[in-house]
Structure formats: structure tokens, C-alpha cells
């Protein structure tokens, strides 16, 4: 079997290069022929995965959720070009980033050798992929203060405090700013919101269950909307996320859907959205899910 191993040299506090060589050696011992591909700039993992996916059996992503997002977007591009019925490679994951939510979701080991054992195994899980304005995501898409938090979170704090950095920044933004509202059109209804997450996974920025009932194999997305407009309420919503109390707020809606449209009420200021913890664009956005889009190697 052949594998393309794609890694971000900056992941794992600069250790991803050494990890990649360990992965290559470990998989070679298990009978896999591996080629390493290091990214040199943002979005390059998309290109590398798209180029190599048709030629290999496994595409291995070494890094955090951002690297996995890029790799799976590249694999999806290759899949779109090849058409239905063609052999598609499997995804292997070696966690090495600041936050590895997908690895947590799937129970993939954080030890390199154990992760390699999973990749060399034959057990896979068929996962859904979300899609927003043509960009795929494995975990979630968020709009409003959610994406603003991603845009403003300090990278040093993210590395040091991980998921707590997101909650702290979200609370401070909730108190400090007037947040533009947007419309979510879903299941035949329209809702005004200041915060929205469409989850394909239970976890968000670590072990925070923003969409705790989400299942990446059920063919639907779980949507959490906060429809309150006042700053204290939004900050309190964000404060309740670690304990799950955000779902009990009167202004919170929890919905299931296969598609949704999200657009700003006015064009006075941009409203950002993020995918898998990386800033991805501005509203309007068309959201959908692709059931059983990718086979992932799991324990």
C-alpha cells in the first residue's frame, strides 16, 4: 500500500517534521510505502492532497484540525474530479497540533506509534463532511461572534490555554462589542441570530460540547443558534458552553438539518464565518452536508 504523508512543519510547536520522519519509518515497518510532503504556506496542504490522492491508498495528515481541514478539502477536490464509483483513498490522522478535536472525536491516539498502528490497520469509519460555499469541514462551521473569536484569539494564548483561550476571548467580545445580526433560513423557517454553530462533531475547540448530540455519521448537521441580541446574554451564553448550560438558555435553539442559508440582515459590516477553527469567509453562506463522504482510519 502507498501513503502520502502531509504535514505542517509548524505544527506541534515545530516538532511535526521529526514526527513525520517517525511516521514514515513506523509505517514502512508495517509494509506501507510513504512519501513525505511538507507545506510551506497556508492552503498548500489542499494542493498536495488533491495532487496525490488519486495515486495512493492512504493520505496521512500530521497536524492540528486546520491541517486536517486542508487535507480533506484537497481529497474532496480529487474526489469531485474523479467522479462517483472511483476508488478513493482513506484518511489517516497523526495528531500534532494545538487543538485536535477530530482525533478526540474518533478516539485516535495522540502517541505517534499508536496512531501509526491505527493507520496500518484496516478499520475505517465513513464520515460525513459539511460544505459551506464550496469549502468542506469535518467538525463545524460557525458564524457571528464564533468566527469573530477565531479571528481575534491570540495564537500564544491558543497554544498555552487551548480551548480556554476561545471561551475567554468569546466572553470578552460578548461584553465589548455590538454584534451584527444575521438570518438563518433552515427547515422552512427563518431565525435572527448573533451566534451560530453547525456541528458535525460533538466537540468544539477541545472538549467543549457546543453541539453535544452531533454524530459525524448520521447524515445531518446539528445547529445551535443564539437568538438573543443583548451583550450580557451573549456573554453568559458563551460562559455556559464549558458546562453545557448554554443549551438551557431561553434564546438558544438546537436544530437538525441537511442544509441552511445564512445571510446578513444588512451590508453595513462584514459578518465572518469559520470552518474547523479557521477563518473561512464572510456571509452570505450556503450550508449543506455530504453523507459518508470520507473513509477515516480509526482504532
Domains and CATH numbers, the chain: 2-122 (3.40.50.10330), 140-291 (2.60.200.40)
End-to-end CA distance of the chain: 19
Burial label for 1, CB within 10 Å (0-12, 13-18, 19+), is middle
Residue 103 to residue 296: CA distance in whole angstroms: 11
pLDDT class for 165, splitting at 50, 70, 90? very low
Q: Residue 53 in 3-state DSSP?
A: helix
pLDDT at 255 over 90: yes
Per-residue burial over 91-116, b = 16 or more CB atoms within 10 Å of its CB, e = otherwise: bbbbbbbbbbbbbbbbebbeebeebb
Higher pLDDT, 219 or 15: 219
Q: What average pLDDT score do residues 153-160 get?
A: 45
Beta bridge partners of 5: 36, 60
User: Is pLDDT at 281 greater than 70 in this prediction?
Assistant: yes
Per-residue confidence band for 141, with pLDDT thresholds at 50, 70 and 90: very high
Which residue carries 487551548 as its cell?
162
Does the pLDDT at position 154 exceed 70?
A: no
pLDDT band of residue 161 (cuts 50, 70, 90) is very low
pTM of the model: 0.87
* Confidence at residue 113, expressed as pLDDT on a 0 to 100 scale: 97
> What is the 8-class DSSP label of residue 180?
P
Q: Maximum CA pair distance of the chain?
A: 58
Q: Where are the beta strands (DSSP E) in 159-200?
A: 182-186, 189-193, 195-199
Mean pLDDT across 145-153: 61
Which of the four pLDDT bands, split at 50, 70 and 90, describes residue 59? Answer: very high
Closest CA to 253 of 203, 198, 207, 202: 198
Amino acid at each position: 500500500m502507498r501513503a502520502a504523508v502531509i504535514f505542517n512543519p509548524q505544527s506541534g510547536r515545530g516538532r511535526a517534521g521529526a514526527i513525520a520522519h517517525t511516521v514514515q519509518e513506523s509505517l514502512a515497518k508495517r509494509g506501507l510505502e510513504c512519501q513525505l510532503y511538507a507545506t510551506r504556506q497556508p492552503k498548500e496542504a489542499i494542493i498536495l492532497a488533491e495532487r496525490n490522492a488519486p495515486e495512493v491508498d492512504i493520505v496521512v495528515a500530521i497536524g492540528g484540525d486546520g491541517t486536517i481541514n486542508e487535507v480533506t478539502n484537497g481529497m474532496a477536490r480529487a474526489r469531485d474530479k474523479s467522479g462517483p464509483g472511483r476508488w478513493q483513498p482513506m484518511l489517516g490522522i497523526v495528531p500534532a497540533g494545538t487543538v485536535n478535536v477530530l482525533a478526540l472525536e474518533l478516539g485516535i491516539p495522540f502517541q505517534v506509534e499508536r496512531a501509526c498502528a491505527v493507520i496500518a490497520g484496516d478499520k475505517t469509519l465513513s464520515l460525513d463532511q459539511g460544505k459551506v460555499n464550496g469549502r468542506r469541514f469535518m467538525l463545524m462551521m460557525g458564524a457571528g461572534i464564533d468566527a469573530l473569536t477565531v479571528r481575534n484569539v491570540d495564537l500564544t494564548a491558543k497554544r498555552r490555554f487551548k480551548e480556554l483561550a476561545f471561551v475567554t476571548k468569546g466572553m470578552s467580545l460578548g461584553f465589548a462589542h455590538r454584534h451584527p445580526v444575521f438570518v438563518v433560513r433552515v427547515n422552512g423557517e427563518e431565525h435572527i441570530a448573533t451566534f451560530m454553530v453547525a456541528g458535525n462533531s460533538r466537540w468544539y475547540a477541545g472538549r467543549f460540547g457546543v453541539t453535544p448530540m452531533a454524530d459525524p455519521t448520521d447524515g445531518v448537521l446539528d445547529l445551535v443558534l443564539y437568538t438573543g441580541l443583548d451583550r450580557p446574554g451573549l456573554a453568559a451564553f458563551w460562559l455556559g458552553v464549558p458546562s453545557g448550560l448554554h443549551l438551557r438558555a431561553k434564546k438558544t435553539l438546537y436544530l437538525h438539518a441537511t442544509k441552511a442559508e445564512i445571510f446578513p440582515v444588512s451590508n453595513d459590516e462584514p459578518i465572518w464565518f469559520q470552518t474547523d477553527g479557521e477563518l473561512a469567509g464572510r456571509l452570505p453562506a450556503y450550508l449543506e452536508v455530504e453523507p459518508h463522504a470520507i473513509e477515516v482510519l480509526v482504532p
